[in-house]
């Protein structure tokens, strides 16, 4: 392994290792190995059918305490079932064992840089770092402790094989680490507040890139709906969607529907960076010494991190709203610099934080509803589709969770937007009462239909782009 190449996985050299080497490492004869594999097959074939199906494999994996939600049974069946008849006979099972043990021995040798036939903590840590995975000492110790069955401080090939033999995915350092993380440590999970796997385990720059690109693409694609939503939110008279669309077109033509999108996209990167940094700082505080925060802890940490990020970039959000709601002069779009300077001079620096309170109040409820709905829908898809959700399923999950979360906190969003657009001094309570008295409850839902039409593609595009970027950047 070469130093100075942090994203490199230990290389495997096809053809350099044979099954004879594996037998020597395991201290087994061919006959002893055959008996061991037969016993393992019989363990899964508890019904004595002479073959394995997904039900038997899942039952066996459950007895081995592998969480069924990861659906290794389906993956294992697919990898073993070479003739694609939906079942695995003993010969197919043994061929899988041959290939898997050979693969595991090759990666074992690659990590064992000292060539002393075991893996010590320093070698494992080095392999993880070269694969772009930063791991704390206590987690490294936990990894070693779980795999090192005889507790002598090193991992033999037999221990390595026992831990990974039934893991059907390719044996790379990244996959091995995430297998341990999922099965033995915690379920990091995916969440819309902080994208999947945001922790010291992942390469933050890649995650920032994935999240930033996903946000930029989704915001640009839905910019016309965002402009329409804001225009309807600040309108206190009974203006419909069609008249508002005509008004925007009349004033600025097509470009009018993208007014403010530059600011909207620009704030994605700093908002994500601040959110990620705050999340990392909050995790140990919320989780305590062990750092395990669980689902509720992730929600709280993500919500607080979102509040910090929202506060930091809020002036940009207010300027965007003013830019979208001010009237064009002689068909010309308002100058961004003059508009910002005017707010500073005429209203003072505090004006850039108008509407911050209702904005912050909506963050945690929205995140909680969105996260819960998205995770629940993904789990349901795994249960009924029996495989990892594909792009279409992710699209449906993103649509539903995004729309539900946005609808629940929409009244706060209306109050915030009206406070942002109003140049006079008004409090959240005053704006709330003014809307309630003047327009009733319906006033708090002005523009909700364009907002739902915006949220559905926005959330869906974000999830799809982010998932695609994770795969391309090897973040899964």
Sorting pLDDT into bands at 50, 70 and 90, what band is 12?
Answer: very low
Give tens-digit pLDDT for 422-459: 877 788 888 888 888 888 888 888 888 888 877 667 76
Check whether 212 has a pLDDT greater than 80. Answer: no
The Cα 282–Cα 262 span in angstroms is: 31
The Cα 19–Cα 15 span in angstroms is: 11
More confident residue, 25 or 423: 25
pLDDT at 427: 82
Give tens-digit pLDDT for 151-180: 888 898 888 888 878 877 777 777 776 666
Q: Please give the mean pLDDT across all residues of the chain.
A: 76
**What does pTM read for this prediction?**
0.53
The Cα 234–Cα 438 span in angstroms is: 13
Report CA-CA distances (Å) from 218 to 225, 282, 446, 454, 476.
11, 28, 23, 9, 21
Percent residues over pLDDT 70 in the chain? 77
pLDDT at 386: 57
Sorting pLDDT into bands at 50, 70 and 90, what band is 300?
Answer: confident
pLDDT at 466: 67
Check whether 343 has a pLDDT greater than 50. Answer: yes
Average pLDDT over residues 247-261: 81
Sorting pLDDT into bands at 50, 70 and 90, what band is 91?
Answer: very high
The Cα 9–Cα 176 span in angstroms is: 11
């Amino acid at each position: 392994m070469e130093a100075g190449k942090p994203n490199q996985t230990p290389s495997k050299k096809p053809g350099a290792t044979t099954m004879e080497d594996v037998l020597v490492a395991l201290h087994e004869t061919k006959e002893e190995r055959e008996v061991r594999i037969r016993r393992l097959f019989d363990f899964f074939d508890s019904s004595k059918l002479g073959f394995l199906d997904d039900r038997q494999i899942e039952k066996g994996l459950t007895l081995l305490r592998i969480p069924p939600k990861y659906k290794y049974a389906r993956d294992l069946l697919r990898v073993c079932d070479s003739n694609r008849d939906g079942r695995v006979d003993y010969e197919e099972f043994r061929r899988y064992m041959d290939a898997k043990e050979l693969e595991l021995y090759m990666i074992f040798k690659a990590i064992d840089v000292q060539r002393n036939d075991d893996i010590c903590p320093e070698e494992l840590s080095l392999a993880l770092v070269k694969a772009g995975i930063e791991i704390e000492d206590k987690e490294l110790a936990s990894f070693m402790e779980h795999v090192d069955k005889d507790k002598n401080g090193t991992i033999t090939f037999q221990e390595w094989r026992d831990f990974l033999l039934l893991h059907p995915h390719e044996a790379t350092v990244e996959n091995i680490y995430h297998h341990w993380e999922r099965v033995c440590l915690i379920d990091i999970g995916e969440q819309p507040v902080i994208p999947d796997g945001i922790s010291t385990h992942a390469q933050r720059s890649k995650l920032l890139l994935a999240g930033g690109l996903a946000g930029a693409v989704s915001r640009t694609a839905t910019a016309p709906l965002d402009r329409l939503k804001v225009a309807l939110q600040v309108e206190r008279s009974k203006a419909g969607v069609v008249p508002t669309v005509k008004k925007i077109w009349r004033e600025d033509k097509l470009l009018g529907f993208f007014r403010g999108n530059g600011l909207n996209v620009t704030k994605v990167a700093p908002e994500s960076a601040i959110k990620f940094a705050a999340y990392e700082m909050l995790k140990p505080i919320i989780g305590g010494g062990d750092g395990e925060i669980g689902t509720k802890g992730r929600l709280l940490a993500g919500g607080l991190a979102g509040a910090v990020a929202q506060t930091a970039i809020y002036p940009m959000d207010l300027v965007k709203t003013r830019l979208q709601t001010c009237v064009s002069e002689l068909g010309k779009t308002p100058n961004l610099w003059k508009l910002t300077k005017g707010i500073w001079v005429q209203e003072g620096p505090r004006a850039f934080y108008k509407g911050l309170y209702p904005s912050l109040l909506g963050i945690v409820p929205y995140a909680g509803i969105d996260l819960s709905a998205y995770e629940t829908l993904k789990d349901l898809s795994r249960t009924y589709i029996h495989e990892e959700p594909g792009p279409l399923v992710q699209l449906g999950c993103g649509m539903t969770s995004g729309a539900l979360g946005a609808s629940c906190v929409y009244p706060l969003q209306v109050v915030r937007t009206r406070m942002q657009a109003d140049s006079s001094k008004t409090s959240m309570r005053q704006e709330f009462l003014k809307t309630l008295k003047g327009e009733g409850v319906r006033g708090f839902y002005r523009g909700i239909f364009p907002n739902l039409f915006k949220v559905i593609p926005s959330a869906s595009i974000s999830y799809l782009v982010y998932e695609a970027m994770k795969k391309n950047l090897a973040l899964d």
